[in-house]
Amino acid sequence: MSEQRSYDVVVVGGGVIGLASAWRLAQAGATVAVLERDERLPAGATRVAAGMLAPVGELTFGEPELLELTLVAAELYPAFVAELEQESGMATGYSVRGALHLALDRDEAEQLRRIHDLQRSMGLEAEWLAPRACRGLEPGLTPSLSGGVVAPGEGSVDPRALSAALLAALERQGVEVLTGTEVSEALLEGERIVGVRSAAGEELRAGSVVLACGAWSGRVEWLPESARPPVRPVKGQILELRSPGGGEAPIERIVASERVYLVPRAGGRLVAGATVEERGFDTAVTAGGIHELLREAYRLLPDVAEMELVEAMAALRPGTPNNLPAVGHGELEGLILATGHFRNGILLAPLAAARVVETLESVAA
């Protein structure tokens, strides 16, 4: 006879969305278990994320709903981090030093001007700067600039440190985090999910199940096909660089062009990313992807040529047809979705967690 445990909520997925949701659920009084098939945490895209908190700079045309979500999440972040750091006793690498979005030629400047006009029309905090002013903020930038936009309210967090703090907070809340635990079957009673069975045969019963499987959310075979959200994997490659001799990172704030973003971290580290590849579940680090990131990073910040290449990584972001996250009630009674955050999972984590709790409370009401 298989072992059986019971909880108020089982969260399937140990990325930042799943961990943050579990933390908030436990704070709301629920008994919670987190299941993650990987042996190590953080898992999935969270482990590879750059940690940008940049709703203004990431603004694109035709996505007002996404902008609203990211702005709300950015407002939540300072209190979210302060509470988490206090409860866990751990730093998250959170800082608000601003972001500088740059154009390297005339065509890029025209496009950046259009985005800046959109930013201003929406009342967002952003200012156009001439090339000299850009280099005044970040002296290491290439002289070949055509201008830029500074967004002083943007920030970043270290996703691995954030996840470690969440795990410590979950331990304090008595949440069970089961790594190396793959779900093989949903426990169903009619049209209601009442828990899951692990590949090892263990039954974990729960009043609600949170689907936070990131890019795999649309392919989880343990859910009926009709209950799987329309989520697809979108590959991203990223590099971590380090200043020689333990020096500081060559930039103070986030610096980005059309083709690359550079995020400074503690310890003289610099993260470079931006690739977006529709290649299914392929997570190979490729020479072409790394070459592209290094080339564009060097064009923007020549000092990267002297930095040590620490790590090259690839992961899968959870994309949706409309680029909006899928958070709320699922197709099965008792199923709560928390997925589809694409490039904004780290930024949207506090908001997603709050909405998962709201969804659960709406069921109980």
Backbone angles phi, psi at 47, to 5 degrees: -65, -30
Nearest CA among 193, 211, 162, 185 for reference residue 53: 162
- Helix, strand, or coil (residue 70): helix
Q: pLDDT tens, position by position, for the chain (365 residues)?
A: 457 899 999 999 999 999 999 999 999 999 999 999 999 998 889 999 999 999 999 888 888 999 999 999 999 999 999 999 999 999 999 999 999 999 999 999 999 999 999 999 999 999 999 999 999 999 999 999 999 999 999 999 999 999 999 999 999 999 999 999 999 999 999 999 999 999 999 999 999 999 999 999 999 999 999 999 999 999 999 999 999 988 899 999 999 999 999 999 999 999 999 889 999 999 999 999 999 999 999 999 999 999 999 999 999 999 999 999 999 999 999 999 999 999 999 999 999 999 999 999 987 76
* Domains of the chain (ranges, CATH numbers): 4-53+160-230+322-364 (3.50.50.60), 99-152 (no CATH), 232-319 (3.30.9.10)
Point out which residues pair with 192 in neighbouring strands: 189, 333
Cα(327)–Cα(211) distance, integer angstroms: 9
Q: Over the range 223-232, which residues count as b (16 or more CB within 10 Å of their CB) and which as e? A: beeebbbebb
